Amino acid sequence: MSEAVRLPAALAQAMRALADAARPAEACGLLVGERWRVVALAPSSNLAEAPDRFEIDTAMHLALQRRLRGSGRAVIGVWHSHPEGPAEPSVHDMAGAWDQALVWLITGSDGTRAWAPGAGGFREVVLDAA
């Protein structure tokens, strides 16, 4: 992925608000868009039992994919927060990256950053939050 992930400022603010509200647990959701342009955030209940992990609600994920059929939009990424740490993938994130085509946005103590998973782990990509 060589182009920047585009994220509207209003969605970046919504992510920060959701992260703050979920503290001390991680907040999470799915990113909806076209290519690398995020147009919506679909927040998910965090089904993980540990506060330093996240698990997207599979039923919500499947329902979202059904609603998006034929719309020209798709799930293009995953978002979650790191309430007490930097916006960098954790060991748990690396183990749970189920689709290398998805972009990962992480909101941490240092803001929101974008990551692309790959065979060798995650690599940071440009995030254009405007």
CATH of domain 5-129: 3.40.140.10
The mean pLDDT of 37-60, rounded to a whole number, is 95
Q: pLDDT tens across 68-111, in order? A: 999 999 999 999 999 999 999 999 898 888 788 899 999 999 99
- List the one residue out of 58, 67, 62 whose CA is nearest residue 40: 67
The mean pLDDT of 116-120, rounded to a whole number, is 84
pTM for the structure as a whole? 0.93
- What is the rounded distance in angstroms from the CA atom of residue 105 to the CA atom of residue 12? 10
